[in-house]
Structure 1
């Protein structure tokens, strides 16, 4: 028995050593465990000469929720949020072209082009109607999709979305206008820590060597992300004229301490939307589905219930815990 115990200790120690020496292996293992917890599988599809990678889970005959990530992000952003939804819905979290595991051709990545790529992906999936969720740039794309294809969208949820001119300029906008750099682009691995502090009020806990690996990976893509960001600015499509075209009930969910896109954006959006609901999360940053996945999922589930039972309406308040 003592020999067995020592053998197990050696195995655990060896595994820990492998993970420490090879953080990419650790990351892949963590993501696999998160996929299993969320009931999702990693799938791939060819759409218009592009390889689109995505997570899919939940009953195939249930209503579909499609999740669209933000700038310099990927489908992994939705894993902990999705686990609260995959029992009752078919959940799909995609890597937009240009991000994650999907194709990254030298092409256009403005929100208008990406919205049409999402439409082609949805068509290839064989989904006629769906619930849409988008965060940041993904929210801009989701809102544009809902305006262009209103009959396809059952509901729309926008988490700290881009695309509107906020009355109060965010710290990101102020930095870009003053020429002091873009904190969303990791130029060198050490910038990754600052990115986390900028995006979150309470950044996710990550082992140091894993954080270093993610920083190296992000900095290796910095030039690619810079080109995409420049396209987003140069080919900007404002949402203000598009929002009145959205017919679906729409949830505006925001972190009240978002430094990337200011919460005052809601003041612009709410009067332009035919069926708005608002949730503002206290002490939360730019990506609530990562920072507070369970709370965010509960607010989203309440919103979904309100779309079928209006008397149980989603919260419409200035701030919620």
Structure 2
């Protein structure tokens, strides 16, 4: 699939589009990119027009500006819907991408038909104490530590993965804006404020073996959204779409049916 670019003021949002049917927007988390969702997007595109985006500051999207926080990211998604003439869409967000989609759903409820939050980030306790790992790795070894805490199974142990991922992190320009990103998320509204404002039918999915955020949070967060349900993905960590793509596809498909 060919990457398309949407100009938004002085920025550009990169995305790939596939399939046909009702719109579905996928937002990756920190350390991820739209390509991580290729398999899931392909399956969901059987019944939906799927838009997998690179958040501003990541992948092929622009890495400029002093604010890359959740409100700015949500406005970029709104611009995508408007440019495509989409009144409503399903939103699927993982980790910080879930924080972005929760922000969007709370801010623009009339534009969200359904919402899937997967191992969502953005709650107040995230900012308390020392982080369990360096989210701005400065070496392949630190990148390996980040991979180990977010990805389960054989993918995390692919020889040379950490070296390749670290080189790509530097070459992409993502490392250069890490300070801007850090300031932006610190100033963004927390989930505790956002979740009660969400009105769309919602599913909270969680990797049962998430080493970064414990799976008990699935029930905690779903309870803060009126009518929401939660589900654990067995043998999956913080990125179920990588660890257990078939189970992730099945859960999302069942929810949308």
Is the shorter-chain TM-score for this pair beyond 0.5, marking a shared fold?
yes
Contact 1:80 1:290 in 2 (8 A): no
Answering whether residue 245 of structure 2 is matched by residue 288 of structure 1, we say: no
Aligned to 2:215, the other structure's residue is in SS state coil
Shift of 1:210: 5.5
Structure 2 CA distance for aligned equivalents of residues 281 and 214 of structure 1: 25
Q: How does 1:1-321 map to 2 (within 5 A)?
A: 40-59=1-20, 62-165=21-124, 173=126, 177-178=129-130, 182-204=133-155, 208-209=159-160, 211-219=162-170, 221-233=174-186, 235-305=187-257
CA deviation map 1:112-137 (0-9, x unaligned): 22112221222122211100000011
Structure 1 CA distance for aligned equivalents of residues 161 and 210 of structure 2: 25
Q: Provide the aligned C-alpha RMSD in A.
A: 2.1
Structure 2 CA distance for aligned equivalents of residues 271 and 208 of structure 1: 41
Aligned residue-pair number: 255
CA deviation map 1:190-214 (0-9, x unaligned): 3222221110121526753554222
Structure 2 CA distance for aligned equivalents of residues 236 and 49 of structure 1: 21
Aligned to 2:82, the other structure's residue is in SS state helix
Aligned to 1:141, the other structure's residue is in SS state helix
CA deviation map 1:19-59 (0-9, x unaligned): xxxxxxxxxxxxxxxxxxxxx43222212232221110102
User: Normalised by the size of structure 1, how large is the TM-score?
Assistant: 0.73
Structure 1 CA distance for aligned equivalents of residues 245 and 164 of structure 2: 24
CA deviation map 1:223-249 (0-9, x unaligned): 42243123212x031222322222211
Provide structure 1 residue ranges, at least 5 long, that are not aligned to the other structure.
1-39, 167-172, 306-321
Contact 2:198 2:225 in 1 (8 A): yes
Shift of 1:255: 0.8
Shift of 1:282: 2.2
Structure 1 CA distance for aligned equivalents of residues 190 and 141 of structure 2: 34
Contact 2:203 2:222 in 1 (8 A): no
More moved, 257-266 vs 291-300: 257-266
Structure 2 CA distance for aligned equivalents of residues 93 and 203 of structure 1: 25
Contact 1:164 1:265 in 2 (8 A): no
Contact 1:72 1:225 in 2 (8 A): no
Q: 1:197 to 1:46 in 2, by over 3 A?
A: same
Shift of 1:219: 4.3
Shift of 1:188: 1.1
CA deviation map 1:123-155 (0-9, x unaligned): 122211100000011101101111111111110
Contact 1:64 1:90 in 2 (8 A): yes
Structure 1 CA distance for aligned equivalents of residues 19 and 203 of structure 2: 22
More moved, 121-130 vs 221-230: 221-230
Q: Which consecutive segments of 4 or more residues in structure 1 shift more than 6 A?
A: none
Larger gyration radius, structure 1 or structure 2:
1
Contact 1:81 1:290 in 2 (8 A): no
